[in-house]
Amino acid sequence: MSSQNAQKSSRLAVTGVIVFYLVAALAMVMANKWVLNVTEAPLFFLFTQLVIAVILFLISDAFRLLPDRLTLSLDVCKGLIPMISLNVIGLSFSNYTLKYVDASFYQVARGLVLPFTVCTSFFFLHSRPSLRILVSCSVVTLGFFIGVFLDGTSISLVGVLFGVASSAITALHSVVIKQSLNVVNGSALLLSWYTNAISAIVLAPIVILAGEGPGIAKLFFGIDELVREDGAMSALGTFLWGSAITGTLGFLMSIASLLSIKVTSPITHMVSSAVRGVAASLLGMWLFRDVITSGRASSIAVILLGSFYYTWVKHQETQNTNSTSGRGSYERVKMEDVEKGQHNRKEAKPE
């Protein structure tokens, strides 16, 4: 009886985490697009999101709501320089991507995350991908080019370039995250705290250097931005509400990542990501009147097909690795860790 209750509780936990991530991630994308449509200061918007998340971290820590006490060590900050740098650049490029492309095209613009991740694993971790992994990456790349060249509607080349750059930064981010976790003694919560806090500090002068001062002044003091004759929400109101929503969701997703690591598997994450991508396209069509052409729909379908195939291949390779080493269960490990382990075993074999 207790075993049945435990299984039911486990299923509920998995379902709860998946549903939360789907809703939160979709809300993040839609709220970001909602704000970016009315502001000329995407970096200041990102800075505001980070500040809100930091404030919520501090409040939670003050009321002892977090499993780990928040600290701020100069040595830890120095050890997280690569992580913070990639985080700031990646989030900035991601915001610029969403500013210049439709919400329904966002998944296509950032569709090269998987191929870039495999490439960075090869160059930085010296792991040689299998033929089936290369096939899956080729399918995903094909889907990206279908979306860019056969979309049938006018798309922003700048937005696509930002999407490609954002994908490359995300792939590099996956390589340095293990080293960053070691710096904070394996605490994902502390890593999230340092990432948000230091990223906000680093981003503050970049906002000014990027020339967003006039856009910020227009947002807060421009008469046209504060008053709308058609009765719609002003640009400032949209910015403040959007910042509050996305900042809070970003904080909650940081907290929920602790539970996600424990109760979800890579396949579960891939399925939820696929559902999220399709839902984002549909919501973009409904909320922002985006046009879903046959080329765009085909692009998303091909990218999802390649991603699903990649996840299945990695699952099979991990199972084979576990059976070879005498373990019967599937371990929830990161892609780069699996590939690094495979590489180390190859080097250890006698010639």
Write out the DSSP string of 205-249.
HHHHHTT-HHHHHHHHH-HHHH--TTSPPPHHHHHHHHHHHHHHH
Strongest mean pLDDT among 120-124, 177-181, 221-225, 318-322: 120-124
d(CA 173, CA 82): 9
Domain check: are 244 and 281 in the same one?
Answer: no
Among 134, 135, 104, CA closest to 287 = 104
Q: Is 201 part of a structural domain of the chain?
A: no
pLDDT at 279: 74
Domain check: are 54 and 158 in the same one?
Answer: no
Domain check: are 176 and 307 in the same one?
Answer: yes
- Is pLDDT above 90 for 243? yes
Q: Is 99 part of a structural domain of the chain?
A: yes
Confidence band of 153 (pLDDT split at 50, 70, 90):
confident
Q: Is 124 part of a structural domain of the chain?
A: yes
Q: How far is CA 93 from CA 42, 88, 98, 158, 193, in A?
A: 10, 9, 9, 11, 21
As given in the structure block, the two tokens for residue 157 are: 């080349």
pLDDT at 142: 96
Range of the domain at 276: 70-186+266-322
d(CA 97, CA 105): 10
The residue ranking higher by pLDDT, 338 or 167, is 167
Q: Is 327 part of a structural domain of the chain?
A: no
- Is pLDDT above 80 for 333? no
Looking at every residue in the chain, the average pLDDT score rounds to 81
Confidence band of 327 (pLDDT split at 50, 70, 90):
very low
Among 22, 88, 96, CA closest to 249 = 22
Question: Which range (54-58, 60-64, 152-156) has the least confidence?
Answer: 152-156
pLDDT digit string, tens, across residues 259-316: 555 555 555 555 566 666 677 777 787 887 888 888 888 998 999 898 889 888 888 8
Return the exposure string of 173-201: e unless at least 16 CB atoms fall within 10 Å of the residue's CB, then b.
bbbbbeebeebbeebbbbbbbbbbbbbbe
Q: Is 199 part of a structural domain of the chain?
A: no
CB 124 within 8 A of CB 312: no
As given in the structure block, the two tokens for residue 199 are: 């990223």
pLDDT at 266: 53
Return the exposure string of 80-101: e unless at least 16 CB atoms fall within 10 Å of the residue's CB, then b.
bebbbbbbbbbbbbbbbbbbbb
Domain check: are 113 and 124 in the same one?
Answer: yes
pLDDT at 7: 60
Domain check: are 299 and 245 in the same one?
Answer: no
pLDDT at 337: 46
- Is pLDDT above 70 for 131? yes
pLDDT at 338: 39
Residues in the chain: 351
pLDDT at 288: 79
Among 34, 32, 76, CA closest to 246 = 32
Domain check: are 299 and 255 in the same one?
Answer: no
- Is pLDDT above 60 for 20? yes
Domain check: are 76 and 140 in the same one?
Answer: yes
CB 39 within 8 A of CB 45: yes
pLDDT at 326: 52
- Is pLDDT above 70 for 232? no
pLDDT at 29: 86
Q: Is 177 part of a structural domain of the chain?
A: yes
Percent of the residues in the chain that have a pLDDT greater than 90, as a whole number: 37
d(CA 76, CA 180): 9
d(CA 249, CA 247): 6
Confidence band of 54 (pLDDT split at 50, 70, 90):
very high
Q: Is 228 part of a structural domain of the chain?
A: no
The residue ranking higher by pLDDT, 125 or 79, is 79
- Is pLDDT above 70 for 224? no
CB 280 within 8 A of CB 106: yes
Domain check: are 253 and 273 in the same one?
Answer: no
d(CA 119, CA 314): 15
Type and span of the H or E element at 282: helix 266-287
Domain check: are 257 and 275 in the same one?
Answer: no
d(CA 112, CA 297): 17
CB 322 within 8 A of CB 274: no
Domain check: are 42 and 138 in the same one?
Answer: no
Count of structural domains within the chain: 2
Who contacts 34 (Cβ-Cβ below 8 Å, separation ≥6)?
238, 242, 287
Domain check: are 142 and 277 in the same one?
Answer: yes
Domain check: are 14 and 57 in the same one?
Answer: yes
Confidence band of 329 (pLDDT split at 50, 70, 90):
very low
